[in-house]
């Protein structure tokens, strides 16, 4: 996935670029509106993250011109909190979403994935990590051509992990999402279910997808 980030605040640009890159995305950064507009016109991107307040061309003017030129690349606007009129105008100009500063990088990553998936025509019910596919509608799980049978709780655990591939989830986070109750530090419930899931997904496979990050938690990723 190739992303164009147009953001003049260097610390913010570095923060966003690092977060997206850690998820396997390629990120090009432009620090002013004129450069951002020219790069957006000359290179193909899967999505543009566009700050509204920029030196040179502002974000709304970039968006307006791109849409006039027939460029329908998905756009997420970054806005200052408390500027509803700019957000409304951006959406009317053809922005796909907006995010008010400050924000959590996990929320931006989730929005990027959702919008790109929608633009590519892939329903949000289907998740793919390497040759592992998880269909949330049919509750069908496959590793390559092999159908994997999971219990309802194992499926919920896998769903929790594949919704954020590459992201490490702590035992506390997993317990809250899958079991819906406060985490008991004395229980090994999460570890037991992870081992069951690993035996069904990774056993006999050269590439392991379910990884333990010692002292932190678990993640699903094709990179160890």
The answer to whether domain 2-119 and domain 126-220 are alike in fold is no
Query: For the CA atoms of 213, 219, 223, 224, what is the dihedral angle to 10 degrees?
Result: 30
> Residue 191: is its pLDDT beyond 50?
yes
Cβ(6)–Cβ(13) under 8 Å?
no
In tens, the pLDDT along 156-185 reads: 899 889 988 888 888 888 887 787 666 566
As a whole-number percent, the residues of the chain with pLDDT over 90 amount to 46
Instruction: Work out the angle between the directed axes of helices 152-162 and 189-201 (0-180°, nearest 10).
Output: 80
Q: Please, what CATH class does the domain formed by 126-220 belong to? A: mainly alpha
Residues ≥6 apart with Cβ < 8 Å to 9: 51
> Residue 126: is its pLDDT beyond 50?
yes
Element (H or E) spanning 9, and its range? none
Kindly report which listed range (28-42, 115-129, 188-202) carries the lowest average pLDDT score: 115-129
In angstroms, rounded to a whole number, what is the distance separating the alpha carbons of residues 48 and 97?
Answer: 11
Instruction: Please tell me the predicted confidence (pLDDT) of residue 123.
Output: 47
Residues ≥6 apart with Cβ < 8 Å to 64: 93
* Domain covering 2-119 in this structure, CATH number: 3.40.50.2300
Q: What predicted TM-score, i.e. pTM, was given to this entire model?
A: 0.55
Query: Is the four-CA dihedral 34, 38, 43, 46 of positive or negative sign?
Result: positive
Work out the average pLDDT over 102-123. 80
In angstroms, rounded to a whole number, what is the distance separating the alpha carbons of residues 184 and 152?
Answer: 21
Cβ(56)–Cβ(34) under 8 Å?
yes
Cβ(44)–Cβ(66) under 8 Å?
no
Residues ≥6 apart with Cβ < 8 Å to 83: 52
Domain locations along the chain: 2-119, 126-220
In angstroms, rounded to a whole number, what is the distance separating the alpha carbons of residues 161 and 181?
Answer: 18
Residue 146 main-chain phi, psi, to 5 deg: -90, 125
Among 70, 50, 68, which Cα is nearest to 60's? 50
In angstroms, rounded to a whole number, what is the distance separating the alpha carbons of residues 21 and 142?
Answer: 27
In angstroms, rounded to a whole number, what is the distance separating the alpha carbons of residues 192 and 104?
Answer: 31
């Amino acid at each position: 996935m190739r992303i164009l980030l147009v953001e003049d605040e260097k610390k913010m640009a570095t923060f966003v670029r690092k977060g997206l890159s850690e998820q396997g995305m390629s990120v090009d950064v432009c620090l002013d509106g004129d450069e951002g507009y020219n790069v957006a016109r000359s290179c193909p991107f899967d999505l543009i993250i566009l700050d509204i307040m920029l030196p040179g061309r502002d974000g709304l003017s970039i968006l307006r011109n791109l849409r006039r030129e027939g460029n329908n690349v998905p756009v997420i606007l970054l806005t200052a909190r408390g500027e509803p009129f700019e957000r409304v105008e951006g959406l009317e100009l053809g922005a796909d979403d907006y995010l008010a500063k400050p924000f959590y990088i996990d929320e931006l990553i989730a929005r990027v994935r959702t919008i790109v998936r929608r633009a590519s025509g892939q329903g949000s019910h289907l998740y793919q990590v390497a040759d592992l596919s998880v269909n949330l509608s049919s509750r069908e799980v496959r590793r390559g051509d092999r159908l994997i049978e999971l219990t309802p709780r194992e499926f919920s655990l896998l769903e929790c992990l594949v919704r954020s591939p590459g992201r490490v989830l702590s035992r506390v986070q997993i317990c809250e999402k899958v079991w819906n109750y406060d985490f008991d530090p004395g229980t090994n419930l999460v570890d037991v279910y992870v081992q069951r899931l690993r035996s069904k997904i990774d056993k006999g496979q050269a590439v392991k997808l379910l990884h333990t990050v010692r002292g932190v938690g678990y993640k699903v990723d094709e990179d160890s």
